[in-house]
Structure 1
Amino acid sequence: MILALALLTLALAALPACLAAINLSILRTPEPEPEAPGLVSILIPARNEAGVIEGTVRAALASAGIAIEVLVGDDHSTDDTATIVRRIAEADPRLRLVAVPDLPEGWTGKNHACAMLAREARGDLLLFLDADVTLAPNGVAGLAAHARRANVDLVSGVPRQLMDSLGERLTVPMIDFLLIGYLPMALMRLSPDPSLGAACGQMILMRADAYRASGGHAAIRTSLHDGVRLPRLFRGQGLRTDLVAGHALATCRMYRDWPQSWAGFSKNAREGMATPRALPIWTVLLFGGHVLPWLVLVSALLASDSSASWIAAGAALLSLATRAAITLVVREPAATVPLHPLTVCTALAIQWNALLRPARAGVAVWKGRRYPITALPPVP
């Protein structure tokens, strides 16, 4: 029995190891073109972002190698967000502050703000950027160049994730780990299947005409997970999407502590893994490949089963090696690698909590707004 479990854990650890090896070999940081035609509209929805908005806006305005405009949507902020943006705009006409209208019924806040910004945008390309994302000087030009060279309608990348607290380090690394370790990117580029669509909602560039033809954020107005919904929306309409390495294009610090991290990843769990059909499968894949090897190793050692011990140890080391390779490439803190089994357990705890909590508690609270998660449509 222990030997069979050890072999199972090895197989489950080998799956993300093989996918990560392939994905890391084809995932590249896009290089900007010498002369980039057209205009990119950088669209930043902001609600009470006074602590970060100045750095985000100034970095966007410092974009090199391509013509840009920057639109910040003030979504009823009660802090100094709007004041800060107005002050910067006085010295740079490329920056505009857009007052987001009251939130209509049936919309989530970010989608509504993004839709309003898209209406005001003049660019051929639209780059939707979270207010806590700091662009590198060549970030916009690199994304735009890739969209043209690869002839895709939507391209996204995961910014380099900054994290200091333990809560962040137990949650945030799963973004890159899941994308690189479990998404078959080569197949994604070959197949138009909507289920293979993926993006990072922190930084998504789209062709303006494709965005409007697809319905854009209005078509996913009830969603809290644009990183899943938008690429699947595009693919469902015959449009092409892609992923690039984003760690050299921008940085982001999503959260500051454990409560923020838990709440942030919980709010969109029901549109990701936390469905009755998907979560048991993900639990087998993640727990079986990254936590169970350590438990089997201990059991095999206690039972003096040398064959099972060696196999389980190999599975455990393969799991850590996969995580270490991804961490090294995306430039996340090396100290998060030994935490990997706990990180997987934390991710599964968030997902199961989101799935199993009573319906009366099925409300996501974000940026001071409450959204009924039970009303969200299923992911295709």
Structure 2
Amino acid sequence: MFWVFFGLLFVWMILLVDFLLGIRKIPRLEDTVPSQTDELVSVIIAAKDEEDAIRETLHTLLQQKNVRCEIIAVNDRSSDRTGEFIDETVASYSTIRAVHINHLPDGWLGKNHALKKGAELTSGAYLLFTDADIRFDEQTLAKAMTAMKVDELDHLTAAPNLEAHSFALRGLISYFLFGFGYLKRPWTANQKKPRGGMGIGAFQMMTKSCYQKIGNHEAVRFRPDDDLALGQKVKASGFKQQLVTAKQLLSVEWYPDFKSALKGVEKNAFAGLNYSIPLSLFALFGVLISQVFPFIFVFFGSPAVQIISAINILLLFCLYGLTTRSFTNYPLGMIFGLPIFALLFVFMLGRALILTWVRGGIEWRGNRYSIKELKQFFRNSEEDHR
């Protein structure tokens, strides 16, 4: 194991330097001084069975200052009172429009279809795609519009504060961000090169012309990771994109409980690994070897292996701590749970892959999608991307 851990040292050092250089390129939206704008922003929300959150989301959007906005609230085949609550709000405010969808066409994921239908009804030159469980500070849209104007952006996406009410959920979220950071390198959104790119479903603001030129949500209609895929389309098409953090301006309870988190991983696991079985297995064993084994061999290996394991752990803690501090409001003490969270991730990913394989696809928002269809669409979109 000595040579394995020795090789990992260089990997973690390279990733740590890359992160330190990259994170400096991600500004805080909170630091933007908002200015009044007469431009109309069209906010599109896709909601399915969101009766517990939709009213608060709409309320916080209605409280926005120094900005003109219209809200298109799309009720996507909800079986609870979501549609009713949207209609109640529409009756009181002229700036909100309700759209009710009762049928999902073939070849579409529900959320993507709902966002497209909402976008078709917009009047603004700027669009904001967001989720039905986001809480907005009253200056969020004004600050975002100011950033769009000052930096002449085509696309602005913002990372919110991800709330969690249990240690396990906070650990899962912080670990996901840790892995996402070194795999996807989100700061590439703010580089001039067309590679990379970023999109976060909680907040994606773009010009309508940009949205139309990249093919709207039709271009990502069958992608469970539609937000990331849309952001990458923007970047690959040569538009100017920026990723910001907005932990004081946006907040969302990513998953209300551990069971919901398991369901979410089922949806996104294969998509994030390009629907590849070999890549998925590599990810599982890679996490075990690089992020669990050092914590074992630091106690049970030979003296040389113990030393190299300890250095690996130190580098892991540094990278994990920087990610946690940059993208969450969680206490830095979370880093000491790293091996536990890594094992939890291995369990969840393994479970998701097995279920996807057994079912022959994923289940999401009351629909089942075959892995064959998903893989074919992914291949086609990758060819178009090239």
**Structure 1-normalised TM-score?**
0.89
Aligned residue in 2 for 1:29: 28
Aligned residue in 2 for 1:205: 205
Q: Unpaired segments of 5 or more residues in structure 1?
A: none
Aligned residue in 2 for 1:19: 18
Aligned residue in 2 for 1:123: 124
| 8 Å CA contact retained: 2:126, 2:205 | yes
Aligned residue in 2 for 1:291: 292
Aligned residue in 2 for 1:239: 239
Aligned residues: 374
Residues of 1 paired with 2:329 and 2:223: CA distance? Answer: 28
Q: Unpaired segments of 5 or more residues in structure 2?
A: none
* AA of the residue aligned to 1:18: V
Aligned residue in 2 for 1:363: 361
**Cα displacement (A) at 1:214:** 1.6
Relative to 1, partners in 2 of residues 1:76 and 1:186: Cα closer, same or farther, differing over 3 Å?
Answer: closer
Residues of 2 paired with 1:312 and 1:115: CA distance? Answer: 50
| 8 Å CA contact retained: 2:189, 2:243 | no
Relative to 1, partners in 2 of residues 1:369 and 1:119: Cα closer, same or farther, differing over 3 Å?
Answer: same
Relative to 1, partners in 2 of residues 1:329 and 1:118: Cα closer, same or farther, differing over 3 Å?
Answer: same
**Cα displacement (A) at 1:186:** 5.4
Residues of 2 paired with 1:281 and 1:272: CA distance? Answer: 13
Residues of 2 paired with 1:186 and 1:52: CA distance? Answer: 30
Measured against aligned partners, the alpha-carbon deviations of 1:45-68 in whole angstroms (never above 9, x if no partner) come to: 111111111111111111222211
2:218 maps to 1:218: yes
SS at match of 1:169: helix
Relative to 1, partners in 2 of residues 1:99 and 1:185: Cα closer, same or farther, differing over 3 Å?
Answer: closer
| 8 Å CA contact retained: 1:228, 1:272 | no
Aligned residue in 2 for 1:176: 177
Larger mean CA deviation between 168-177 and 90-99 belongs to: 168-177
**Cα displacement (A) at 1:253:** 0.6
* AA of the residue aligned to 2:307: W
SS at match of 2:322: helix
Within the candidate set 308, 313, 321, 1:316 is matched to 313
Relative to 1, partners in 2 of residues 1:234 and 1:358: Cα closer, same or farther, differing over 3 Å?
Answer: closer
Residues of 2 paired with 1:65 and 1:167: CA distance? Answer: 39
| 8 Å CA contact retained: 2:356, 2:362 | no
SS at match of 2:3: helix
Aligned residue in 1 for 2:2: 3
1 or 2 for the larger relative contact order (CA 8 Å, sep ≥6)?
1
Relative to 1, partners in 2 of residues 1:192 and 1:329: Cα closer, same or farther, differing over 3 Å?
Answer: closer
Residues of 2 paired with 1:143 and 1:176: CA distance? Answer: 23
- % same residue: 21
Relative to 1, partners in 2 of residues 1:267 and 1:333: Cα closer, same or farther, differing over 3 Å?
Answer: same
**Cα displacement (A) at 1:98:** 1.4
SS at match of 2:218: helix
**Structure 2-normalised TM-score?**
0.87
Relative to 1, partners in 2 of residues 1:112 and 1:222: Cα closer, same or farther, differing over 3 Å?
Answer: same
Relative to 1, partners in 2 of residues 1:60 and 1:330: Cα closer, same or farther, differing over 3 Å?
Answer: same
Residues of 1 paired with 2:121 and 2:216: CA distance? Answer: 14
Within the candidate set 332, 341, 346, 1:343 is matched to 341
Instruction: Provide the alpha-carbon RMSD of the alignment.
Output: 2.5
Residues of 1 paired with 2:361 and 2:167: CA distance? Answer: 26
Measured against aligned partners, the alpha-carbon deviations of 1:114-142 in whole angstroms (never above 9, x if no partner) come to: 00100111111111111111112222223
* AA of the residue aligned to 2:317: L
Residues of 1 paired with 2:299 and 2:53: CA distance? Answer: 46
